[in-house]
Structure 1
Amino acid sequence: MKTIQMLIDGEWRSAKSTYNVINPANTEEVVAKAPLGTRSDAQEAIEAAYRAFSAWSQKSPYERAKLLRKAAAIVMERIEELGRLLTLETGKPLKDSLKEIEFAVRVLQYYAEEATRVFGEWVPTISQSVRSIVIRQPVGVAGLIVPWNFPVDLLAWKLGPALAAGCTVVIKPSSEAPAAATEFVRAVNDAGFPRGVINVVPGKASEVGLELVENPKVAKLSFTGETETGKYILERAAKHLKRVSLELGGNAAAIVCDDAPLEVAISGCVRRAFSHMGQICISINRVYILKEIAKSFIEGVVEATTKLKVGNGLNPETDLGPMFREELRQKTKEHIRDALEKGARLLCGGKEPEGEEYEKGFFFIPTVLIDVDHRMRIMREETFGPVMPIMVVQSLDEAIKLANDTRYGLAAYVFTKDLSKAIILAERLEAGGVAVNINDVTELQAPFGGWKQSGIGRELSRHALDSYLEYKHIRIGII
């Protein structure tokens, strides 16, 4: 069992209260004992970050870059320990946990380089006796609120650009999965960042999270989580005109055209629908397939799905671990039940696996449904579970209309061999990212974020760095 601490003003400390972090694959196993930070702890951390900001923001980009590169190296040295801890607290297979840590390392390395590319402008003026210069400077203290499903990866997406820009940070990891994120912060901080630059306070959203939202000394807030929570944060942060980035829910659609590369479409949809038990904001929640290839596609999906091995994430043969908590498993079952009552057909899954190894965890068999329509909750709400509902459509126009019939707009997927068709579909889909013949919309050097109620702002790429910087115009008279 790991004992987790808070980092405030350069010191690792315990909290007055602690709580147990449970393994979702074995609910009788305590993974870590975590500190239950309070609003007072968050205030201390914010004050520390506020004091540290002046000196940190004035350091040269090359100094910040050097520390970020060193931090990436230290995280990589500890990848096995961090990966195992991540699997124990979230349930995801160890191979996926290690992949998550590796990407977090790449993010830190990327922003080490981007730190030195924060350029300004020399602006033409109407007068020979005036010069105008535009520079960019760090916004101030940044509050970073991270979810449980990718607690290290998504933290790196925020921490990397914030530190590269010259901001100081206060991090609130998920109270449900704080262990790997906090130990990741320990590794980063061990690179030698000045005290107060990086702070981490695990705790309840109603305490630590709310303080980050409402404290006027927090100039920037970056949140990843549910849409309704994001709306609440935006409303409360408006009191101080706080700069806010929100990466929220999704309900991603995949369109499988009649000329789709069948094997690519099958493997891509299965991977993106069921990876991490569908508990990903860019999971494929709905598949729209042209009737001409529906039979072959559905048969292939069912065959591939039934081959997936569900089990403990530490088992190297495991493809899918448990769901994260019982409430998500029950929501998944409710969505399936609603669909079946309204005419859907179950082709595989739809229940918990049987056997002694599954008795103590939140396991569920990946599920494929057909004969679905938009009367069903599973086609209109984000299930956040391992279900692939497949709807046969008559035309691409119908597919696009249905795919866009949602309040969300984070990701979408297209499978076709026709380049012109791919471009047209990608342009017409209302989503911040569209993947064509591939099962992921994320790319480190490209912006990630949503349309509609899937969020505000972008993460990754140089665009994320921009969100931690303010513009300043300096107008000079020549005398």
Structure 2
Amino acid sequence: MTCFKMLIDGQAAESLSGKTAVIYNPVNQEPVAEVSLGGREDATLALEAAERAFPGWAETSPWERGKLLSRGADLVRERAEEIARLLTMEQGKPLRYARREIVGSAEALDYYAEEGKRNFGEIVPSSSRKARSLVIRQPLGVAAVISPWNYPVDLLAWKLAPALAAGCTVVAKPSSRAPLAANAFAEAVAEAGFPPGVLNLVHGSGREVGRELVESPISRKVSFTGETATGKEIGEKAARFVKRLSLELGGSSPFLVCEDARIGEAAEACMYRAFSNMGQICISVNRIYVHDAVAEEFADELVKKTGTLRIGDGLDPEVDLGPMFSEAQRQKTKDHISDATKKGAEILYGGLEPEGEKYSRGFFFLPTILDKMDHSMRMMREETFGPVAPMMRFSTNQEALKLANDSRYGLAAYVFTEDMTTALRFAERLEAGSVGINLNNPIVPQAPFGGWKESGLSRERSRSALYDYMETKHIRIGLREEI
């Protein structure tokens, strides 16, 4: 069985302990590969390598950094099929979506290869004729980036790329439960010719490797995507060293369907955003609020469209939905559905595991639509992270806005309406970092992405992410007498 090693100081490295872990396919629980399992000592070695490499990398010009990032993107594209198959086998998503993730990750490298060249400073107006003020931005040091299992390559790429473009060195920790594709991605990027120690990757648990990356005084920035509870813990530990933080945490995205919405388009957009990747997406539709006048029509359309989705092994090109990632995720989904039905919700579609031998060994679950929901139900208060679409009805836009904002989360929100005034009013008042109007994907590379409230801190993507890996410096210059 292939064993994936770590990347420390430019070399493939086994863990100091010699421990390995087996990664299993969620389709059938068969082994895919082994991974070298690091600990705190391995993380320390990687941090020290990144610290040694930082001065030289920080002084490298943005153009040289950009060339390496672009070359890394080319190498990732060359290996896209290989990396995508690893991703499908370890995580479960259909291969065509895995390919899309890998290509998008290469695009992240290309984007910051160019954006890094636009690290503009400022000349600040001075109150004195004998002085001038300049403001510049410089890389802040070693960055620790910790990425999750649901989009293990994409979310790593959108951390790695701005950090490297800014002139930081990096120690990455992919999810210990889905590390293979991320490992292959990082290896491809490193082979572009980055100096030893600039890009490091360590496998292992959050309790050991993650903790060392956060608690070590060497790292000056921590970027984490994952659960809110874990993000809070990281924030507490990082605060001891006043480290820069980027936290992209939990979500509970509302999907508002107004009386004048195009129901067919809204239902299709809702279906894909609720069930893609089996609902295991931070901006997945978690709460659907539909106007009374169109609720029945919307529900019928959503059920009809959901019934066309095909479930199975993600390597099958005909499949739309693979398995869930783990039994724990499936059980949480079942628990939320059970809680909702006990409190009066009605299942319109799904709600159980698919029948048949081909589903017997995997973590499969039918996409599920529920009606007659209310905010006493766990599904409307917590992040299910499963293939559920819970519906609740409203009679006025004011009521819909109040319901949508009644959450401790604020990552994304969606509004479907043909009235642009209504759309803009909702967009301005919804408590979310991203709002999609008449579409189900509010994320683009050139716009900042992140959450309000307990959905996180700081922003990823766009120029905002580049600056989050940099320190701002004011330089005041005294001048001689005028000539």
TM-score, normalised by the number of residues in structure 1:
0.99
Question: What's 2:3 paired with?
Answer: 3
Q: Distance in 2 between matches of 1:303 and 1:326?
A: 28
User: Deviation string for 1:322-341 (max 9, x for gaps)?
Assistant: 00000110010010001100
Secondary structure in structure 2 of the residue aligned to 1:320: coil
Report the CA distance between 1:393 and its aligned residue.
1.1
Question: What's 1:463 paired with?
Answer: 464
Q: Distance in 2 between matches of 1:124 and 1:380?
A: 49
1:18 counterpart (17, 20, 24): 20
Secondary structure in structure 2 of the residue aligned to 1:249: coil
Moved over 6 A (4+): none
Q: Name the aligned partner's letter for residue 264 of structure 2.
A: E
Report the CA distance between 1:401 and its aligned residue.
0.5
Moved more, 124-133 or 76-85: 124-133
Q: Distance in 2 between matches of 1:473 and 1:404?
A: 39
Q: Name the aligned partner's letter for residue 355 of structure 2.
A: E
Segments of structure 2 that go 5 or more residues without pairing to the other structure are none
Q: Distance in 2 between matches of 1:63 and 1:2?
A: 34
Question: What's 1:192 paired with?
Answer: 193
Q: Distance in 2 between matches of 1:442 and 1:121?
A: 29
TM-score, normalised by the number of residues in structure 2:
0.98
Secondary structure in structure 1 of the residue aligned to 2:143: strand
User: Deviation string for 1:157-213 (max 9, x for gaps)?
Assistant: 100100000000000000000000011000000000000000000101011000011
Moved more, 248-257 or 300-309: 300-309
Question: What's 1:318 paired with?
Answer: 319
Q: Distance in 2 between matches of 1:273 and 1:126?
A: 56
Q: Name the aligned partner's letter for residue 49 of structure 2.
A: A
Secondary structure in structure 1 of the residue aligned to 2:446: coil
Q: Distance in 2 between matches of 1:196 and 1:425?
A: 47
Q: Distance in 2 between matches of 1:435 and 1:129?
A: 50
Secondary structure in structure 2 of the residue aligned to 1:41: helix
Please state if 1:355 is matched with 2:353.
no
Please state if 1:65 is matched with 2:89.
no
Report the CA distance between 1:124 and its aligned residue.
1.9
Q: Distance in 1 between matches of 2:148 and 2:33?
A: 17
Q: Distance in 2 between matches of 1:425 and 1:123?
A: 37
Q: Distance in 2 between matches of 1:301 and 1:193?
A: 48
Q: Name the aligned partner's letter for residue 303 of structure 2.
A: V
Secondary structure in structure 2 of the residue aligned to 1:240: coil
Report the CA distance between 1:262 and its aligned residue.
1.2
Matches within 5 A, 1:337-376: 337-376=338-377
Question: What's 1:382 paired with?
Answer: 383
Question: What's 2:333 paired with?
Answer: 332
Q: Distance in 2 between matches of 1:263 and 1:52?
A: 54
Report the CA distance between 1:14 and its aligned residue.
1.5
When the two structures are aligned, how many residues end up with a matched partner? 478
Question: What's 1:176 paired with?
Answer: 177
Secondary structure in structure 1 of the residue aligned to 2:158: helix
Secondary structure in structure 2 of the residue aligned to 1:354: coil
User: Deviation string for 1:303-343 (max 9, x for gaps)?
Assistant: 11121111100001110000000011001001000110011
Q: Name the aligned partner's letter for residue 363 of structure 1.
A: F
Question: What's 2:109 paired with?
Answer: 108
Report the CA distance between 1:2 and its aligned residue.
3.5
Report the CA distance between 1:127 and its aligned residue.
1.8
Q: Name the aligned partner's letter for residue 46 of structure 1.
A: L
Secondary structure in structure 2 of the residue aligned to 1:26: coil
Matches within 5 A, 1:262-281: 262-281=263-282
User: Deviation string for 1:13-41 (max 9, x for gaps)?
Assistant: 122100100101111x1111011101000
Matches within 5 A, 1:198-209: 198-209=199-210
Question: What's 1:410 paired with?
Answer: 411
Report the CA distance between 1:103 and its aligned residue.
0.7
Question: What's 1:35 paired with?
Answer: 36
Q: Distance in 2 between matches of 1:214 and 1:146?
A: 17
Matches within 5 A, 1:49-448: 49-448=50-449
User: Deviation string for 1:407-464 (max 9, x for gaps)?
Assistant: 0000000011111111011111100000011111111100000000000000000000
Q: Distance in 1 between matches of 2:398 and 2:293?
A: 15
Q: Name the aligned partner's letter for residue 238 of structure 1.
A: A
User: Deviation string for 1:237-294 (max 9, x for gaps)?
Assistant: 1110011110000000000001101111010000000000000110001100001111
Moved more, 441-450 or 116-125: 116-125
Secondary structure in structure 1 of the residue aligned to 2:425: helix
CA RMSD of aligned residues (A): 0.7
Q: Distance in 1 between matches of 2:2 and 2:477?
A: 57
Q: Distance in 2 between matches of 1:189 and 1:219?
A: 22
Moved more, 162-171 or 124-133: 124-133
Q: Distance in 2 between matches of 1:154 and 1:423?
A: 29
Q: Distance in 2 between matches of 1:126 and 1:456?
A: 35
Q: Name the aligned partner's letter for residue 87 of structure 1.
A: T
Q: Distance in 1 between matches of 2:109 and 2:21?
A: 30
Report the CA distance between 1:372 and its aligned residue.
0.8
Secondary structure in structure 1 of the residue aligned to 2:240: helix
Q: Name the aligned partner's letter for residue 297 of structure 1.
A: F
